Amino acid sequence: MELTKLFTTKEASEWASKFTGKNVTISNISYLIQYGRIKKIGGNGATLIDKQDLIKYYKESYIGKREINWKDQLGEDLNWALSFDHLKEADTTKHVHRLHPYKGKFIPQLVEYFLDNHTDEFKKEAYFKPGDIVLDPFCGSGTTLVQSNELGLHAIGIDISAFNTLISNVKIYKYDFLDLHYEIQKITKALKEFISNSNTVKFEDKLTRELANFNNKYFPSPEFKYQIKNKKVNEDEYGREKEKEFLPVFLELVKEYDIQVNQERSISFLDKWYLKHIRTEIDFVFNLIKEINNPVTKRAISIILSRTIRSCRATTHADLATLKEPVRKIYYCAKHGKVCKPLFSIFSWWERYSKDTIKRLKIFDTLRTNTYQSCFTGDSRTINIFEILENNFPAFSELVRKQKIKGIFSSPPYVGLIDYHEQHAYAYDLFGFKRQDELEIGSLFKGQGREARNSYVQGISDVLKNCKRFFAVDYDVFFVANDKYNLYQQIAENSGMQIVNQYKRPVLNRTEKDKGAYSEIIFHLKGRL
């Protein structure tokens, strides 16, 4: 019988790289330890890993098994090359793609695959070339626009959501980084002074220390997560027990520092989902942003504030994507495997996101090409692209009229799945944008019944028929969709188009709690012969 072989994290990464045939970094190994996938052995600063633990993880959870299982469930026509399973999260959220959270966006590599003029065994021809014009009539957070810029293509985005338009344009603007850095530093300094002598800071500092001591004692990391993973602890019961045990400490500190945990009113989204101390800081920063003269700088910093306040809503970490009830006290957090607290100040997140935003914008600035991109708020069923460009972007307008749009790469909304306005309700509330929920195609509130599906088919068909007016003769349309109701054949027919190809891809890294096998289809449409 083989004696137990122990690896350091460096040795483990080297072994795993050879075993999988992929680059497994020390950070990857540390992640597995942190989240209880493999057990940490040793103490006094030394981290060792049992080779058998690694073998078990990679054999059962990694090499080829997911592809086999998913094809068993979803069919052999699954195009695994489009899973991009070799990529890390840092690759799929590179540079400006992580400027702001957004539900329902596709990864940039998928856009690259179809817009880049390379060829491979799956894609026999190049559909777009540098200098072509791409349209995204459901622009969302601007992934198509950003990748078009990287690839040397021009791009136009349309979205019914004013906030989506803001996110998309902030990603592709050219910045005066000295001005951007100056304005951020000025606000950061003012916010720090604003809260420096407040009870809020003292309270949160004390609460953080007390919680750290408690969690280190009762939820030691990574041992506790490993115990949960191997079902040695009843997480729900133990979590509730310890939450109840710490609650008197929290309530005593609230009383000592005179902290308000209950909102005074719940009229607006900001009233309901932000504790009073957070709301005061939000208003303070927003008023400073209003004073910024450079409109491009102002919009970028507005996105930093929006990203910040999204992370500061009074909810559990597990419910950030889908809010349930406001949280005003400490709670056991299954996501982090310890007792967590609501936030009482935005400062740490503001500072973190400010630095991250500048870093990401600068990285993208080194990659950008000298091409045109812009997103406009409007209804893609009726918008006159020539006219809106002429009024807002004359130079680009002239090029589009002369050259016409080569095609579309977009992910239309799915039937009754996401409320695209409500997911950013905090931003609409703060910035005062006009909501146009009633114009969303496939909106959540319409459901997924027959009437909703018919309305969806009509809506997407109307978008394609309107956009065709601005297309070049030999156009290519790519729509990314989960067509579980088989609607896209009818959409193509209604639009005077035909589906010439379909690419069925596995979606590996979903944000939803349901992590089961899931696929989507990239439909390639062209004009009907």
Q: Are residues 226 and 333 in the same domain?
A: yes
Banded model confidence at residue 1, pLDDT cuts 50, 70, 90? very low
- What was the pLDDT predicted at 321? 73
Residue 400 · residue 389 · CB < 8 Å: yes
* 482, amino acid identity: N
User: Is pLDDT above 90 for 397?
Assistant: yes
Q: Are residues 373 and 430 in the same domain?
A: yes
Banded model confidence at residue 63, pLDDT cuts 50, 70, 90? low
Q: Are residues 194 and 319 in the same domain?
A: yes
- What was the pLDDT predicted at 363? 98
Banded model confidence at residue 346, pLDDT cuts 50, 70, 90? very high
Q: Is residue 383 part of a domain?
A: yes
User: Is pLDDT above 50 for 256?
Assistant: yes
Q: Are residues 391 and 325 in the same domain?
A: no
Residue 357 · residue 350 · CB < 8 Å: no
Q: Is residue 68 part of a domain?
A: no
Q: Is residue 69 part of a domain?
A: no
Q: Is residue 508 part of a domain?
A: yes
Cβ neighbourhood burial of 338 (10 Å; 0-12, 13-18, 19+):
buried
- What was the pLDDT predicted at 44? 59
Q: Is residue 451 part of a domain?
A: yes
Q: For the residues 119-134, what does the mean pLDDT come to?
A: 76
- What was the pLDDT predicted at 120? 55
- DSSP for 317-385? GGGSSS--S---S-EEETTTTEEE---S-SHHHHHHHHHHHHHHHHHHHTT--S--EEEEES-TTT--H
- What was the pLDDT predicted at 31? 74
Q: Are residues 225 and 342 in the same domain?
A: yes
- What was the pLDDT predicted at 124? 53
Q: Are residues 357 and 380 in the same domain?
A: no
Banded model confidence at residue 195, pLDDT cuts 50, 70, 90? very high
Q: Are residues 329 and 372 in the same domain?
A: no
CA distances to 246, 276, 314 from 213, in Å: 11, 27, 23
Q: Are residues 233 and 309 in the same domain?
A: yes
For residue 58, the 8-state DSSP code is H
Lowest mean pLDDT among 21-35, 327-341, 494-508: 21-35
Banded model confidence at residue 492, pLDDT cuts 50, 70, 90? very high
User: Is pLDDT above 70 for 522?
Assistant: yes
CA distances to 292, 342, 394 from 282, in Å: 16, 16, 37
| All residues at 6 or more sequence positions from 433 whose CB lies less than 8 Å from its CB, including other chains | 162, 163, 427
User: What are the beta bridge partners of residue 523?
Assistant: 479, 502
Q: For the residues 495-520, what does the mean pLDDT come to?
A: 81
Distance CA 445, CA 121 (A): 42
Question: Of 314, 337, 362, which residue constitutes the final position of a domain?
Answer: 362
CATH of the domain at 440: 3.40.50.150
- What was the pLDDT predicted at 225? 84
Q: Are residues 117 and 31 in the same domain?
A: no
Q: Please tell me which residue, 508 or 94, carries the higher pLDDT value.
A: 94
Q: Are residues 115 and 228 in the same domain?
A: no
Q: For the residues 476-500, what does the mean pLDDT come to?
A: 96
Per cent of the chain over pLDDT 70 is 94
Banded model confidence at residue 364, pLDDT cuts 50, 70, 90? very high
Q: Are residues 252 and 181 in the same domain?
A: yes
Question: Of 39, 63, 87, which residue constitutes the final position of a domain?
Answer: 63
Banded model confidence at residue 317, pLDDT cuts 50, 70, 90? confident
Lowest mean pLDDT among 31-35, 67-71, 129-133, 290-294: 31-35
Q: Is residue 169 part of a domain?
A: no
- What was the pLDDT predicted at 337? 92
Q: Is residue 372 part of a domain?
A: yes
Residue 32 · residue 57 · CB < 8 Å: yes
Helix/strand/coil percent split, the chain, to 5? 50, 10, 35
- What was the pLDDT predicted at 432? 94
User: Is pLDDT above 80 for 264?
Assistant: no
Give 158-193 pLDDT, tens digit per residue: 999 999 999 999 999 999 999 999 999 999 999 999
Question: Of 362, 384, 410, which residue constitutes the final position of a domain?
Answer: 362
For residue 42, the 8-state DSSP code is -
Q: What is the mean pLDDT of the chain?
A: 90
Q: Is residue 396 part of a domain?
A: yes
Q: For the residues 46-53, what does the mean pLDDT come to?
A: 85
Q: Please tell me which residue, 416 or 392, carries the higher pLDDT value.
A: 392
Number of domains, the chain: 3
User: Is pLDDT above 80 for 410?
Assistant: yes
- Provide the domain limits for residue 142: 76-163+368-527
Helix then strand count (H, E) for the chain reads: 21, 11
Q: Are residues 373 and 471 in the same domain?
A: yes
- What was the pLDDT predicted at 222? 83
Banded model confidence at residue 59, pLDDT cuts 50, 70, 90? confident
Pick from 69-73, 406-410, 420-424 the range whose average pLDDT is largest.
Answer: 406-410
